C-alpha cells in the first residue's frame, strides 16, 4: 500500500492543481484557495443568464437560457472530471480515502475535498481564519472582546489556534482565559500568558498547539495595560504544492 507521506504528497499536488485551475477560471484565489466571487468565467456565466432572462423575447430567452445555464465552470466540474480516474484509483488503492485518513489521523486540503466529496469534513484541514476574535484591553483585568469568525464545521475540521499581540504589550503581563469550541460543539477554557513588553506580532500557542478548536467565543483577562490589543487566529495546517 502507498505510504501516508506519498499519499499526502499526491493529494496536496492534486489540490494545488485545483487551486491553479481556479485561478484560470477566476481572477485569482484567496489565501484558503476558494475562488473569488464576482470575477472570472463563473461570473460571466451568471451575467449571460441574467442577460437572457432580461430579454423581451420570452421564447428566445427560454431556449437559450437552458444552454447557457449548463454546469458552472470551476475546478470542481472541470478538474474533477478530467482527473476522475486518478481520484478513483487513489480511493481504491487505500481502501477508501476517508477510512485511510481516519486510520492515519491525517487530513487533506480543502481543494482536494472539492474534487472528491467522499472525504468527511472532519478530515479536511481548514483555511486559516485570521482573526477568529480580538481583544482590546481598557485597563488592568478589563477589556472588550469581539468575535469575528469561526471555522465552518460543515466544510472543515478543527485547527490549531494562536494568540497574537497586535500592539506592543505594556509593562504588565496578561493572562488571557479563552473559551474555545471543539468540533463536537462542546466548550472548554484554556489560559495563555502574554509576556510583558511583548512586541507587535509576538505569538503565543493555545493549548500547546493542539489541533482541536473551531471557535473562540469569549475572552477574559487578568493584568494588562490600557491600549494593549491582541487577537486569536487559526493556523493553516500545511501549505500545499504541485
Give SS3 for 124.
Answer: strand
User: Distance between CA atoms of 3 and 221, rounded to whole angstroms?
Assistant: 45
Taking the domains of the chain in order of start, what are their residue ranges?
4-120, 133-234
For the cut 70, the answer to whether the pLDDT of residue 122 exceeds it is yes
pLDDT for 19 equals 75
All three cell numbers of 153: 464545521
Residue 91 vs residue 80, higher pLDDT: 91
Report, as an integer, the average pLDDT of 48-69: 56
Average pLDDT score over residue span 208-237: 97
Q: State the CB neighbour count (10 A cutoff) for residue 35.
A: 24
Distances (CA, A) of 7 to 23, 32, 100, 108: 24, 21, 10, 10
Give the single-character DSSP code of 26.
S
CA 88 to chain centre: 25
Mean pLDDT, residues 14-43: 57
Res. 51: pLDDT tops 50: yes
Contact 41, 25 (CB under 8 A): yes
User: Which span out of 12-16, 60-64, 73-77, 125-129 was modeled with the highest average pLDDT?
Assistant: 125-129
User: Residue 240 has which C-alpha cell?
Assistant: 500545499
Amino acid at each position: 500500500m502507498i505510504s501516508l507521506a506519498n499519499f499526502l504528497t499526491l493529494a496536496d499536488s492534486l489540490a494545488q492543481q485545483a487551486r491553479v485551475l481556479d485561478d484560470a477560471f477566476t481572477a485569482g484565489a484567496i489565501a484558503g484557495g476558494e475562488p473569488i466571487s464576482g470575477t472570472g468565467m463563473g461570473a460571466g456565466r451568471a451575467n449571460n443568464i441574467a442577460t437572457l432572462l432580461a430579454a423581451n423575447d420570452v421564447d428566445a430567452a427560454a431556449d437559450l437560457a437552458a444552454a447557457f445555464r449548463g454546469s458552472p465552470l470551476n475546478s470542481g466540474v472541470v478538474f474533477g472530471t478530467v482527473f476522475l480516474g486518478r481520484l478513483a484509483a487513489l480511493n481504491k488503492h487505500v481502501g477508501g480515502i476517508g477510512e485511510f485518513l481516519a486510520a492515519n489521523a491525517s487530513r487533506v486540503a480543502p481543494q482536494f475535498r472539492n474534487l472528491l466529496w467522499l472525504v468527511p469534513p472532519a478530515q479536511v484541514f481548514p483555511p486559516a481564519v485570521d482573526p477568529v476574535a480580538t481583544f482590546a484591553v481598557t485597563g488592568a483585568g478589563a477589556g472588550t472582546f469581539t468575535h469575528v469568525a469561526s471555522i465552518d464545521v460543515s466544510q472543515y475540521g478543527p485547527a490549531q489556534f494562536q494568540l497574537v499581540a497586535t500592539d506592543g504589550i505594556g509593562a504588565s503581563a496578561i493572562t488571557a482565559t479563552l473559551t474555545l469550541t471543539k468540533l463536537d460543539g462542546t466548550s472548554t477554557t484554556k489560559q495563555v500568558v502574554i509576556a510583558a513588553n511583548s512586541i507587535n506580532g509576538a505569538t503565543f500557542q493555545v493549548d500547546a498547539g493542539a489541533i482541536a478548536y473551531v471557535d473562540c467565543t469569549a475572552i477574559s483577562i487578568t493584568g494588562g495595560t490600557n491600549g494593549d490589543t491582541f487577537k486569536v487566529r487559526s493556523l493553516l495546517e500545511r501549505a500545499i504544492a504541485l
